[in-house]
Structure formats: structure tokens, C-alpha cells
Chain A
Amino acid sequence: MDVGLTEDQIALQETTRRFLEEQSPIGALRRLADKDESFDPAVWRQGAELGWVGLFVPEDHGGFSEGFQGVVDAAIVAEELGRVVFSGPFHAVATVAFAVAQAGSDAQKAALLPALVSGDAIAAWCLSGTGAQSGVEPGGLAVTTRGDDHVIDGIAGYVQDAAIAQHLLVTARSDAGLSQFLIPTDTPGVTILPLELVDLGRRLAHVRFEDVVIGAEALVGEAGAAAAQVERQLQVAVALQCAETVGVVDRALEFTLDYVKQRYAFGRPIGGFQALKHRLADHVTQLEGAKAAAAYAAKAIQDESPDAAIAVSVAKSQCGKWGTEIVRDCLHMHGGIGMTWEHDIHFYLRRAVSNEALWGTPAAHHERLCALAGL
């Protein structure tokens, strides 16, 4: 992450790494995939107990951070999760916890936050539609009023962890603007349509809303006035994803370097051939850029800097593009063995490729950068 971590942050990084290496090494993901499962609820609960979700939740609801104070620490956790291609629902739960802690009613906070912090409950965020702008712009769901109730219709696309969640945070548009709601997944009219994924340690679904009627108590914040809050959530979601990608690439490059140093061809280690050396030099340079950009984005959000929105899209541009490029080439440098199910590298590449596409492609973030710059 940042080159200037505090002692506490280094301790957080080390405990998280040790826990994951013991409880959720990459081999665990292969075993889950062999059984057609995508995550281990017991490991997720233990991770949550380490305080991962609590980074976004104030003390009186079971966590230990106020406001934006947990973003840099959460990015440190996300990077560690990336290093083992972790399969638990950290990203979705953390983002919803952040949203509810920021904008939820007291009743919503009391009902949901302690259960998210402890790992007992899982929540997912329905933000976008299924089009190319999915992950960067709200869309897909429309809300109207019927008496005192709100009625939601449409399809939310690529919703992370909807299939295992008990709660949905829903962003929907009306003529007045954006509104957010917190509802149980089993609310009548809600249908989860699980998707088949490239990334084997993740779950995505489209979520169909057909005449879903909900009461005013489900509103998160004010009706029609959620745009700024949605932007903040989006920033947190993208920044955490970028930090995760950094971990994915960092680890993949690490074991690729080990491999090219000990694999011999033509009487020397293949890592001595300039064709590979120069590509690896480019990769570590772009990875340094990804680390710099991801760290900058997390800190900008935490400090509520005016350039946070731009920083987040800059980070996604760099991490999205180079994440895939670097890990793809790491697989290549393994030769035939890199193409096998037994080897770890494909899990890394699957995660890198999915992270590039989800929460806004680099191209979508480039367009967003133009808008943020005033074009």
C-alpha cells in the first residue's frame, strides 16, 4: 500500500496476512471450486471478527471508526485479500456497512451494523443496470410513490453477493433524483438471477425488481437526495477494488519472479533472458504506479480531499488496465504449466480480469474523468 504506513497499519497488514495464509490460502479456493462452492462462511465470520467490516462502523454499533477514518485501513485489508484471491463477501459487506453508517437511520444502524460487523449478516448493493456504464453510474432501477409507499421496478446488474445476502441496499432513480433503500432480500417481487463467472471466488447476480412495494422506513437518507452519498459509496467501492487488484498483481508478480529465477532453459534461468527481464521491468514499474494511485485514492477519500473523485477514477484506470496486462503476462511466463488447473496463476488472472470489468471499465472511468474535469 502506501510507502509510509504507520506502525498500527503495519500490524494490521501482518495479522491479516498471517490469518489469510493460514485460513484461506489460494489452495482453499481450488478446493471450494472443485466442490462447486465459492466461499467458506466460517472463514468469512472469523475474518469479520478480526474487525474488517468494523473499519467502517462507529463504536456504538460494534465497530471502531468514525466517518471516513477507516478507508485507508480497509484498503490495506483489501490488498491482503487480493494476495490470496479471497472469496468472502468483504467488498459488498464493507461498502454497504459504510453506506448505512454514513446515511442510515438510527433504527437501520442498530438493526444491521452489528450483524454486518460480526459476520452474521451479509448485504449487497444494487447500484447499476446491465449496460456498459454498469458500476460507474446508477441506473437500472426506477422508483415511484404509491401513497406512503415506494415502488421499485427494473433490473440491477452485476450485483456482488446478492445471492448470499439477507439485505439489499438499493439505489433507484425517480424524477426527483436518486433515492436509497435498505430491504430484505426476500421482499416480494425481488428475484435473484445468479450469473456464471470467470472469477471462481466471487458471486454476481442480476436482481430483478417487479412492483416491489416498500415502506418509508426503508429509506436510507432522504428521498431524491442521495446523489452525493451514492458518489461517496462508489468511491469507496472502487478504491477497495483497486487495492485488491494491487494485492492480486503484487502476489502474482512475486511468484512469477521466483519461477523465472529457478526455471532453466538453454542452460540458464529464463529470468536472465532480456525478453522477459524487460517485460518484468515494465510490469513492476506499472505496478508501482498502481500502488501509488490506489494509495492516493484511499487517502484522498479518507481526507475528504476535493480530488477524491478524480483520484478514484485515475486509480481504476491504472489498476484495471495493468492488472490484467501484468497477470496475463505472468501466466505466459510460466509456459505450459501456467495453463493448468493445478497452478494458482489462473485464479489470479480471473480476479484481475473481473476487477478490470466490474465497477466501471477503465474506458468508463476515462469518460468519468472528462466529466469530472468539466468536459
Chain B
Amino acid sequence: MNTEHLDTDEQRAFRLKAREWMAGRMPPRDPQEEPCDLGDGDQIAKDRRSQRILWDGGLAGITVPAAYGGQGLDKRFEDIFLEEAEPYRLPWVFGNAFNIVLPDLLAHGSEHLKTLYIPAMLRGEHMWCQLLSEPSGGSDLFGLLTRAEKRGDKWVINGSKVWTSGGHFCDYGICLARTDPAVPKHQGLTMFIVDMRAPGVTINPIQLVRGGSHFCQEFFDDVEIPEDHVVGEVNGGWTVAQTHLAQERISMARGWHIGLRTPAKAETIEVQTSYLDTARQLGLEKDRHARVLIGEAIAIDAVYAMTTARVGKGIRSGALPPTSGALSSLMAANTAVRRTALLSELVGPAGVAVLPGEEEPVIGMDRVCTHRIGGGTTEMQRNIISERHLELPREPSLDRNLPFNQLKHNSSAMAKS
């Protein structure tokens, strides 16, 4: 089902253009394939090519202003594009670039940075990572230790970032660093653009529990950054980070991979047939307990989709405050935890052990990996919801007014492993 019947003439023309351009050019969508595997160089190469195909067809950056290489159209055109793109794999490895860096640049970047980086991003030439978390801590983001000092007409960065998704495949990173340690922690930060191939940048991939390598640690030793590669104001990094984090939450709430679920499909309840298949394979289709577990899995999936849709609609119409994105984020995490618990209970030992060659015991590994840590832990989401949404008193903090260089930090901070 799509919304073709609602098209104006202009929208219809755009739809047909998109349909015709993508046919035969874009790679088909494979439901078995991970939407974004930042440890898979082939997938990244494929997505770079796809992004270029979209650019060549006038389908990149649909809502981005034409001055920066976009199409300058409204959200309706993006929805049309996504409906037409349903048979294809979209370049989802560019999530960081389009979900976060693009809005950061549009809101806070200088004209120079916008014209330098947005069109290249839309052409699929640059992959972006976000350099926020540090070994000393990610939740307390504004307590970060990486220093940037002005030397002549350059900024010089020293320190370490960690858990950087896709760091080893990225061309550029958006990086928050401390430019003034003599003021309270929120006030002395600046957002930079870092060339990941610049001299002095060392990138070490880190192996994840599932194997593969999805994120990295970076060390910066006297890395030089041009003076004009500051996003927003010097010492105004906190303001840029607010946009950054809000975009991250909104994107997570809406679904990080744009177009994985089309807008029209989000309006009806989708039941995962794999639950039913699993029950049949195990001969549990008549078992009451199994049916209760599966029914609950169906229900929580649907409630999550409905909640996300409701929160998105509420934020757009102003009925809900923008911080409500944290509600969807928290529900995403809680739903994932509950779903894996239900499925583990359903399949029992088959979820954790199989004969060689049989399918991977995915359910058990899902259970091992189901947490919400990236993009802010669930505790951080709960703090946002309780403090900004419910207006409950803020956590007492010892670090809000003291100059940063008088605060206690982790003893392990900055330790090079």
C-alpha cells in the first residue's frame, strides 16, 4: 500500500522520476542483510556507490536546501521517495552523516563548511563518525578531557576518543573537545571537524561481543585542524551538542535507518511471521504457554511502533515537547530486552546451542547484546524523561559551577592501552 493516490502533479512527476531512476540501478533489498554493518567494508563500498547513484538521479538530500546540493523539497517528497525506494537497499551506512552531522552543519555550520562538506556528503564521498565519548566516560559527555589549543592559525588536538562507530572507515569526524578548562565544564567546549586521515590520528578497531569490528578508539597526538573548522562558536560546543544529541534521539526514536520501514507501512500493524514459524518448528503451536509468549511479543512490537508514530506526530504538531523522543528511545530499549526474554523462554536451550552448520543460536546472542548503551544509556534517557518531561528535580551535581580544572576525574582517564 502506498500513498500514490494523494500525489499532486508535481509529486507524481517526482515519483515517476524516482521510480524510473532507481530501477535497475539501485541494489535490491535483502531482508537477511544487516541494515548497517560498519565492520563490513564491502557493504560500505556498495553504499557509497548507491549514494552516488541517488545523487546522479537528483534524489540525494531531498529536503536539503539546493544551495548545498540538495533538492530543496518538503517532507512529502521524501516520503514519496521512500515509498519508491522500498525494493532497494538504501545507503544506510551513512546514518551518522545524514541523521546527525547534516543537521549540526545546517544549524550551526559556517557557509564555508556547509558548501565544503554537505554536497560531498550527498555524493557519498564522505563517511562521518561522531567523536564524543572518551575512556573517562560517555554519559558525562561534558566532562570530556580531550584538549584543543590554539597555536598560530591552527587548533591542535590531544587526547583520546572511544566507541566511535565506523571510525576506521570514516573520512571525517565531528569532535567535541575542551578549549577552556578554567571555566565550568559546559562552557569550555568547542565542536570541531576532524580529518580522520590527518597526521597524528591513530585509529584502533575494537572487537565487539558478536565479533567483527564496529567501533574504534582514536588517539590524537598534536593533530592540527584549520582555524575555520570550528562548528558554531569557540567555547560554544555545548550549544551545538544540544542539537547533536536531540537529532540523535529523534533519529533513534524514528528508526536510525531511514526508509527501513516505509511511512505507509507504519500505519498498519505488522506481525513478525518469524515468531509463528519458530513455534511451528518447535511443535509448540498448540502450547498455551508458548502462545502467551508469542502473543506478548506481537503486542509489544506493535505498541513500540504505535508509540514511535504517536511521539513523532506529537513532536511535529507541538502536542508533545521535543524531549519526548527519549520516550521512544527508552521504549525501544525496554521492548528489545523484553522481546529477547520472551523468545529465549520460547525456544529454551535451542537459543543458546546448536550443532555446527545449523543456524546460529541468534536468540541467545540477541539477549547478550540487547542493551541500550550507544546514543546515551537508558539511565540517561530516564534522567531526561524525568527531569525535562516530568519536571522532577534534577540530579544533585557537584560539577555544575566549579571550573573544570578543579573537578575530580577518573583516575584511568587518558590511559593509553
Contacts and interface: CB of A to CB of B under 8 A. Distances in A.
Interface of A: 2-4, 257, 260-261, 268-269, 271-272, 274, 277-278, 280-282, 284-286, 288-289, 291-293, 295-296, 305-307, 310-311, 313-314, 317-318, 362-363, 365-370, 373-375
Interface stretch (B27-35, B71-79, B384-392): B384-392
Given A4-B317, A314-B299, A375-B294, 11 more contacts: A3-B319, A4-B319, A272-B394, A277-B382, A284-B389, A292-B309, A305-B268, A363-B292, A367-B292, A369-B294, A370-B276
Contact of B327 (A261, A278, A288, A318): A288
A311 B324 CA distance: 24
A280 B390 contact: yes
Contact of B392 (A280, A289, A292): A280
B331 interface: yes
A362 B296 contact: yes
A2 B302 CA distance: 16
B310 A292 contact: yes
A319 B168 CA distance: 46
A295 B310 contact: yes
A305 B268 CA distance: 9
B299 A369 contact: yes
Given A281-B381, A370-B291, A375-B276, A289 B307 contact: yes
In the complex, which range does the number of interface residues on chain B fall in? 35 or more
A282 B269 contact: no
Nearest to B286: A375
Given A288-B307, A289-B304, A289-B307, A281 B390 contact: yes
B327 A285 contact: yes
Interface string B261-303: 0000000110101001001100001001001111110111011
Interface in B295-331: 295-296, 298-300, 302-304, 306-307, 309-311, 313-314, 317, 319-320, 324, 327, 330-331
Interface string B366-404: 000000000000010111011101111111100000000
B334 interface: yes
Contacts of A261: 391-393
Of the candidates A281, A295, A318, the one having the most CB atoms from chain B within 10 angstroms of its own CB is A281
A286 B279 CA distance: 28
Contact of A293 (B276, B303, B317): B303
A375 B385 contact: no
A373 B390 CA distance: 37
A290 to B, nearest CB: 8
A306 B273 CA distance: 17
Nearest to A367: B291
Contact of B310 (A3, A284, A310): A3
Nearest to B381: A281
A30 B324 CA distance: 36
A41 to B, nearest CB: 37
Nearest to B384: A281
A277 B320 CA distance: 20
B310 A278 contact: no
Contact of A367 (B295, B324, B334): B295
Contact of B331 (A288, A314, A363): A288
Contact of A292 (B268, B295, B306, B383): B306
B296 A284 contact: no
Contacts of A274: 383, 395
Of the candidates A2, A306, A310, A370, the one having the most CB atoms from chain B within 10 angstroms of its own CB is A370
Given A288-B310, A310-B302, A314-B298, A269 B393 contact: yes
B382 A281 contact: yes
Contacts of A363: 292, 295
A366 B295 CA distance: 4
11 contacts: A268-B393, A271-B393, A280-B390, A285-B334, A286-B331, A288-B307, A292-B309, A293-B303, A317-B299, A366-B299, A370-B279
Interface string B321-350: 000100100110010000000000000000
B386 A280 contact: yes
Contact of A3 (B294, B314, B391): B314
A1 to B, nearest CB: 11
B132 to A, nearest CB: 23
Nearest to A272: B393
Contacts of B314: 3
Contact of A314 (B269, B381, B383, B387): B269
A148 B334 CA distance: 58
Of the candidates B293, B295, B320, B385, the one having the most CB atoms from chain A within 10 angstroms of its own CB is B295
A4 B382 CA distance: 26
Contact of A285 (B285, B291, B330, B383): B330
B310 A307 contact: no
A278 B269 contact: no
A113 B96 CA distance: 60
B330 A281 contact: yes
A207 to B, nearest CB: 28
A281 to B, nearest CB: 4
A310 B393 contact: no
